[in-house]
Structure 1
């Protein structure tokens, strides 16, 4: 579903629950999540996460959500502390294990991140998110064949997750397999007949191909459609080479990042 169809409803439900009972930790956590990914209001989201943890400090899910906020705003030491707390509370939580791997990768500790993802695979070898994060790690290491294999696994396990497909296209493009990357773009376009494909997915493949104009056009659509992936732009390494482009800085400003 597009964010514009999903998040306003989830926000309304959380607000209603809080009106009835302000001590519902889950409602504050849910509202914080919606505010983060749809309103792009970091401070308001953080306030709700803090309130949720005051009410229930032992919620692994809330610690994970709070870690997510820290990760997209570049506070990676805090993100890692929160995700480790979530894993302590729920050692078998696949998302906690996988996200710890992802945050290590974002912090530049790629090998440590892959080691944590391997621990996730030991818990559940078919957890698609861990394969998607592993693909990003291999991209950072320049191991494109492995990256494509992991992203393909993520695509297959998820039933066709758009970000997994886009990651395949991006890895193909930056490894010089441009025709194959364009085939991935065609696949994404075909998928728009009958299902929603986030603009970020198209932007990522065009970016891999070095087609900045097309990438920015799709990122503009991401802003218009409130694509939740837009909040990852500033600290996702795949976009690092655009930081000197004034258009990219303008996008970051409009998503809510301080200049």
Structure 2
């Protein structure tokens, strides 16, 4: 099969969640052309899905070397480095990606997550706000911004972001947990109880929700 057809087939497998078939097809393409940027970039994305950060870093570094102008590949290389605990390298990748594409909501989101993990709260706040300015319906960014605000005793604005996330994705468990915890922090005990009970209906094994609900009495 020609490399172009193999790549198309690999992308279809990947899109449909057939990761083993997709990985095999991407590797077949690369066996024919080790410098195929699309195969490198997409194989790197698949390896990130699997949590295979070391191999993802190797593959995505090759992708970036092949096409230094790809903001997407730079962002994914940042994810791989973060997964490996290489925070400085991850930040460099995210910054490089944002220079190439300043309006990439995903990159601002992932950069915000990194900054938050490094306790650089003000910078993380700006990254999440920029993400939401670009893509206001980014539910996970609302959640992570809410988490950041709640950790800094800003429960009222955190609640607003959790509510927005729940409006966008009613079954998004981190959003429901955050909404329950922020309601508790604001003294809205009944609301907290109702939200946490809803979360436990969705996931009876959610230990943090179970503990928080028990603490409400």
Q: Is the 8 A contact 1:172 1:180 kept in 2?
A: no
Asked if 1:119 is matched to 2:124, the reply is no
2:194 matched to which residue of 1?
A: 180
Q: Is the 8 A contact 1:53 1:59 kept in 2?
A: yes
In structure 1, stretches of 5+ residues that fail to align are: 191-198, 212-259
Equivalences for residues 29-44 of structure 1 within 5 A: 29-38=41-50, 40-44=51-55
In structure 2, stretches of 5+ residues that fail to align are: 1-16
Alpha carbons of structure 1 residues 66 and 182: separation in structure 2 relative to 1, 3 Å: same
* TM-score between both structures, scaled by the size of structure 2: 0.73
CA distance in 2 between counterparts of 1:73 and 1:210 reads 36
**How many corresponding residue pairs?**
196
Q: Is the 8 A contact 2:81 2:90 kept in 1?
A: yes
Q: 1:166-208 CA distances to partner (integer Å, 9 max, x unpaired)?
A: 4435655777856235313234249xxxxxxxx8xx3553475
2:24 matched to which residue of 1?
A: 12
| Runs of 4+, deviation exceeding 6 Å | 173-176
Superposition deviation, residue 32 in structure 1: 2.2
* TM-score between both structures, scaled by the size of structure 1: 0.63
Superposition deviation, residue 52 in structure 1: 1.0
1:237 matched to which residue of 2?
A: none
Equivalences for residues 1-259 of structure 1 within 5 A: 6-38=18-50, 40-158=51-169, 160-169=171-180, 171=182, 177=189, 179-189=193-203, 202=206, 205-206=209-210
Say which one has the larger Rg: 2
Q: Is the 8 A contact 2:57 2:81 kept in 1?
A: no
Alpha carbons of structure 1 residues 28 and 155: separation in structure 2 relative to 1, 3 Å: farther
CA distance in 1 between counterparts of 2:160 and 2:202 reads 18
Superposition CA RMSD, Å: 3.1
Alpha carbons of structure 1 residues 210 and 159: separation in structure 2 relative to 1, 3 Å: closer
